[in-house]
Structure 1
Amino acid sequence: MAREAWFEVAPSAARLTGSMRDIGYDFPTAVADIVDNSIAAGATRVDVMVEFDGADSRVFITDDGSGMSPGALLEALRLGSRRSYAGGELGRYGLGLKTASLSQCRSLTVVTRNSRAAVRTCARALDLDLVEEWDEWAVVDPGPDPQVARARKWLAEGPGTVVLWRNLDRVLPERNPDGGWARRRLEALATKTAEHLAMVFHRFIEGLEGRPQLVLTVNGNKVEPWNPFAPHEAARTELASHAFELNIGERAGHVTLRRFVLPSRDRFSAQAEFDRLSGPLNWNRQQGLYIYRADRLVQWGGWGGIRGIDEHTKLARAALDFGTDLDAVFNINVAKMRVTLPPQLRHMLETSINELCVYANDAYRKTPRGATRPVPPDLGAPAEQRAATHAAVSAGVAVRAAAMQAGEWQAWQRIAAVLRETSPEVVELLGLDT
């Protein structure tokens, strides 16, 4: 068979860089993507410095990770790097360093050191002005440069990497980058970035089994973790966790769900803590699913199409965890800030989420409750009896959830009160007395 003719058509680097700058990052999510790389490199400390200097303002992101060899650094600056990702690594497409950085700046410089024995650093720069002039994806040696010299000095004590953003055209106003508004904008972005990192990496900051705690700072201030599930609040309620097995095409993996009802305002340890736990979106919009990929928070707020946001369920929050083996199933985007719940999983979660919202509704209305979940079936009973009991309890949860969603909760409470008097056996069967 004759071989078909083929032609290599390389993309225009100048045109491609213009489109890839608009993938969807904002400043905090772009910084977070760089921190992903630091974590993948085994860093125990990451420092973010947002420095105002008018048109010469800059951002440094430094870590004490393993660093890179000169060859690895060049590969990291390739658009769509050829390196493979191990299971559990936070990287995904080989685009993050470039797309995240260039979404905010026109000049990206990376300085790195990977040897403990030798104080030898390597620096490479990717400048969009040069890319557009040459129409080539050109990586250059930055040569003598005071900011690069600062980065090299920081790496004098050991391995690590420094990412430097300059020419912040997507951050500073073009006409007056030296003005007070520009200064205030950078200060506000630094604050917003600290809040974002506190939430997205809270598990790493708190400490995960098998790896040291991560220390994160922004402009010299230590970032404290923002855990959406208020683990230190005594009045918090955790319901039974669930595990689901997904089999979609050739992809298979496990997803876990943990469910929490946070205390109402008067049961929080302090008003300030209640306000802090409201989160950047405030209580109503912070309710819902918190979706974690390899322990990194990628999406939060809302119920993923399972149900709507409701004032009465604002105390309900749930952690949904999946591993990198299910990336394709969840359609995670390049910026690692959006996922799509597969329909199969959405159906699996429906009962568990509705049950959680029933309890959150009760907590909101301050209804006393002695148990934290429906009465489980007797494990010593025959399998058929346990299945029937589970089905009845599930039916009770579904009825309560439907009453809540229909806006008829008060009517349902009156019905339940009558049932408790007239048919207590039905109440017990449906789990309505818990």
Structure 2
Amino acid sequence: MERDDVVQRIRLAPDAGLVRSLGANHTLESAVADLVDNSVDAGATRVSVRLLTRRDRLTQVEVLDDGRGMDSDAINAAMTIGHQRDYRQNDLGHFGMGLKAASFGHADTLTVWSTKLDASPVGRRIRRADFSKDFTCEVLSSEAAMEHSEHRSAIIGSDVGTSIIWTEVRNAYRGNASDEARRWLATRNEALRAHLGVTFHRLLTDGRLHIDVLIDELGDALAAPGVPVLPIDPFGYATTGHPAYPKALIAKAGDTQVKLNCHVWPAKSDITGFRIGTKSGEQFQGFYIYRNDRLLQAGGWSDTANPSPARQLARVVLEDGQAIGSFLTMNPEKSGLKFEPIFHDAIGRAAATDGTTFIEYLQVAESVYTNANKRKRRRRPVIRPDKGFAPDLRKRIGKELPFIDGDSIDLKWRRMPAEEFFDVQLSTKTLWLNSRYRPLFAPHGGSLNDAPVLKALMFLLTHEVFEGRHLGSRDKDEIALWKSVLGAAVMAEARMRGE
């Protein structure tokens, strides 16, 4: 029998002290991405991220957009901690904490200026020290709001939109070495661009969103344009690593089921998308979880499997919205998800229509990687290509073949008789090409690293000659053969082209 023991209902407001811990897990990259989420939810098609400095030290961060903007009531709600608006199905916002957590994780002062169609520009400012005592927010003047609206319009090209400004930035380089300060900025810029590029790659690719990033001295930037962020597709391979993939596995738990699209990258991949920013592709094996085309998690097995070098080609797409909340729990920073025990069990039982299981998929990815590297281990070391070879070509040769310590070969052009195409100078480790035929292979003018296809072929043909200490009778005979055949071939090529 229930007892009627309720005598009163009271409202327990959160302690303002929680503000001090807001955003503690946010990186600069994840914090800016959270602000971009708000811009996308507001219908923005352009977002400008501005990292402004004094003497190369980051002092102000701005995120400007051309979204719908806010009026007085809407901006008050946005500045209220924990306020959850009526989220639409396709919104990226989720907790009502993003703006405050992202901002106070990196700055002590948050200022928001916004202009909505047919409404007066508005401005609000929260100082972390005050907000952590009593949640107070400053209402800013209409004149200042109008001025900032015009400033944003000059940059974004829209009369409506929102400006988020962080001042008193805490998490930045504060030392005295200018070189270190510039290096810190360059590193943050690269990491930020990579994070935004992969997080919003679907929106960027199809033109729904344009993001640029500007780094400039405070006061000098004005309306200067930023550098566009390019999409980084973590599944942007040209050819799959295994003909049976990608393949869909279905994970079921009760009445809920989720599709796992399993991919195998081609072995020896070294392109943007496999590697992201400065990090190697090995670090991005695992699950890629999307919500409304926004990437929430870029890799990681979340304890469903063990990461290993042999599994670096394996990436799994999960973009079923019903999984979040039932199988997965999103963290406030939207930088990863917790896999619930029910989902761990479901993945263990997941299978494709042909019966392929999750562990069998991982084994296929491992075999593609292992077989490719077995072939590589059987190749003996070769002389290192040096001057005359394009950097990308040298890098690729180095990935395919180990190098002999110490020695290197240069490839240069010089004038020779018409019937000669190349010459070998073992004493200086130089392979000479006849410069009279250079226009055939570098028609737009020669450079140190020109004609990469020709040079790659000549390296593969002749490298063994340079790996000995002297030319034996077999070497001399092969060089004579090559000179005869290639000399005739290049003269025929010149005649065909009328040169």
Structure 2 length as normaliser, TM-score? 0.63
The one of 271, 275, 278 aligned to 1:278: 275
- Opposite residue 335 of structure 1, the aligned amino acid is E
Matched with 1:127 is 127
Is 1:342 aligned to 2:340, yes or no? yes
Aligned to 1:88: 90
Q: C-alpha separation between the residues in 2 aligned to 1:279 and 1:97? A: 26
Are the structure 2 counterparts of residues 232 and 159 from structure 1 closer, same or farther at C-alpha, using a change threshold of 3 Å? farther
Q: Give the corresponding residue for 2:401.
A: none
Aligned to 1:188: 187
Task: Measure, in 2, the Cα distance between the counterparts of 1:316 and 1:233.
Answer: 14
Deviations 1:383-407 (A, max 9, x none): xxxxxxxxxxxxxxxxxxxxxxxxx
Question: Secondary structure, in 3 states, of the residue corresponding to 2:234?
Answer: coil
- Give the number of the structure whose residues are more often strand, by fraction: 2
Q: Which residue of 349, 358, 362 maps to 1:353?
A: 358
Relative to 1, partners in 2 of residues 1:236 and 1:45: Cα closer, same or farther, differing over 3 Å? farther
SS in 2 for 1:171: coil
Indicate whether 1:29 and 2:30 are aligned: yes
Residue 48 of structure 2 contacts residue 64 of structure 2 at CA under 8 Å; is this kept in 1?
Answer: yes
Unaligned 5+ segments in structure 2 are: 215-225, 351-356, 373-499
Q: Cα deviations across residues 105-164 of structure 1 (Å, max 9, x unaligned)? A: 01111111120xx484211111123335xx321111344998983454223733211111
Structure-2 residue corresponding to 1:169: 170
The equivalent of 1:77 in structure 2 is 79
Q: Within 1, Cα distance between the matches of 2:299 and 2:331?
A: 17
Q: Name the amino acid aligned to 2:185.
A: L
Q: Which amino acid aligns with 1:357?
A: L
Partner SS state of residue 198, structure 2: helix
Describe the SS at the equivalent of 1:52: strand
Contact 1:105 1:170 survives alignment (8 Å): yes
Please state if 1:41 is matched with 2:79. Answer: no
Q: Which residue of the other structure, out of 241, 254, 267, is the alignment partner of 2:248?
A: 241
Structure 1: runs of 5+ lacking an equivalent: 368-434
What is the aligned length? 345
Cα separation, 2, equivalents of 1:151 and 1:188: 31
1:217 aligns to 2:222 (yes or no): no
In 1, the alpha carbon distance for the partners of 2:29 and 2:58 equals 20
Q: Who is 2:410 aligned against?
A: none
Does the CA-based 8 Å contact 2:260-2:316 persist in structure 1? yes
Counterpart residue identity of residue 191, structure 2: K
- Give the letter for the 2:345 counterpart: H
Pairing of 1:364-379 with structure 2 (within 5 A): 364-366=369-371
Q: Is the 8 A contact 1:45 1:214 kept in 2?
A: yes
Question: What is the alpha-carbon distance in structure 1 between the residues aligned to residue 145 and residue 178 of structure 2?
Answer: 22
Q: Aligned pair in 2 of structure 1 residues 9, 307: CA closer, same or farther (>3 Å)?
A: closer
- CA shift, 1:71, in A, is 0.6
Alignment correspondent of 1:390: none
**Any conservation in 2 of the 1:239–1:356 contact (CA below 8 Å)?**
no
Greater Cα offset, 148-157 or 310-319: 148-157
Give the match for residue 155 of structure 1.
Answer: 153
In structure 2, the CA distance between the partners of 1:313 and 1:192, relative to structure 1 (3 Å rule), is same
Q: Distance in 2 between matches of 1:27 and 1:203?
A: 21
Residue by residue over 1:206-233, the C-alpha shift from the partner in whole angstroms, topping out at 9 and shown as x without a partner, is 22xxxx5211111111111111112434
Superposition deviation, residue 19 in structure 1: 2.2
Contact 1:253–1:326 (CA under 8 A) maintained in structure 2: no
Q: CA deviation at 1:183?
A: 4.4
Counterpart of 2:54 in structure 1 is 53
Task: Tell me by how many angstroms 1:299 deviates.
Answer: 1.7
Residue 188 to residue 56, structure 1, CA distance change in 2 (3 Å): closer
TM-fit CA distance, 1:187:
3.4
* Aligned counterpart for 2:263 among listed residues 256, 260, 263: 260
Equivalent-residue separation in structure 1 for 2:47 and 2:322 (angstroms): 23
Alpha-carbon separation, structure 1, partners of 2:53 and 2:320: 39
Q: Which amino acid aligns with 1:200?
A: T
Cα 1:49–1:56 shift into 2, 3 Å: closer
Q: CA deviation at 1:302?
A: 2.8
Matches of 1:110 and 1:331 in 2, distance apart? 30
1:349, CA displacement in angstroms? 2.4
Relative to structure 1, the CA distance from residue 148 to residue 356 in structure 2 (aligned partners, 3 Å threshold; closer, same or farther) is: farther
Separation (CA, whole Å) in 2 of partners of 1:324 and 1:336: 16
Matched residues in 2 for 1:235 and 1:197: separation?
27
> How many angstroms does 1:201 deviate by?
1.2
Q: CA deviation at 1:325?
A: 6.9
What secondary structure does 2:102 align onto? helix
TM-score, normalised to structure 1, is 0.71
| Aligned counterpart for 1:232 among listed residues 214, 231, 238 | 238
